[in-house]
Amino acid sequence: MNPRELRRMMQMMRRSGLNVEQMEGVELVTVKLRDKELVVEQPQVMVMKIGGQTILQVMGNISERTPSLEEVEVPITDEDVQLVASQAGVSLEEARKALKATKGDLAKAILYLKSL
């Protein structure tokens, strides 16, 4: 869609009660799914507000990317943090940092903290 058509569409939406704006300066949009990421390069992002809700419309060239194991974020539960903290004799904050550094591996986190 060329910029002129986009502006015309935005004006029509405003007249019908939608508050529509184009978000400026967006360089990249990433949508994270369980097993992959959708990457939109050179996106045009429209922000529409209607009835207290905000809708983002993203247009652009989409590519798929599978994150490497190093990039996958592992959920860390409070129970895991408490277990590591009690076993290693450290604060909850230190235990959480160790779990993040070891990608949620309880044994590695405890061994790491005990070796300090």
Do the beta carbons of residue 104 and residue 75 sit within 8 Å? yes
State the total domains in the chain: 2
Q: Which residue has the tokens 């076993």?
A: 87
Exposure class string for 24-42: b at 16+ Cβ within 10 A, else e: eeeeebeeeeeeeeebbee
Same domain for 14 and 41, yes or no, is: yes
Q: Write out the residue range of the structural domain in which residue 47 sits.
A: 3-65
Same domain for 56 and 12, yes or no, is: yes
Same domain for 46 and 14, yes or no, is: yes
Same domain for 83 and 59, yes or no, is: no
Across the chain, which has 116 residues, the per-10-residue mean pLDDT values are: 81 75 93 90 90 88 81 84 95 94 92 90
Same domain for 48 and 98, yes or no, is: no
Same domain for 58 and 12, yes or no, is: yes
Q: What is the pLDDT of residue 62?
A: 95
State which H helix or E strand residue 110 sits in: helix 106-114
Do the beta carbons of residue 25 and residue 45 sit within 8 Å? no
Q: Domain with 108 in it: what CATH number?
A: 1.10.8
Same domain for 7 and 52, yes or no, is: yes
Q: Is residue 71 part of a domain?
A: no
Q: What is the pLDDT of residue 52?
A: 77
**What is the DSSP code (8-state) at residue 103?**
T
pTM of structure: 0.49
The HSE-up count of residue 113 (CA atoms within 13 Å, CB side) is 27
- For residue 24, the one-letter residue type is E
Q: Is residue 72 part of a domain?
A: no
- For residue 50, the one-letter residue type is I
Q: Domain with 50 in it: what CATH number?
A: 2.20.70.30
Same domain for 20 and 53, yes or no, is: yes
Q: Which residue has the tokens 């986190």?
A: 109
Q: What is the pLDDT of residue 71?
A: 64
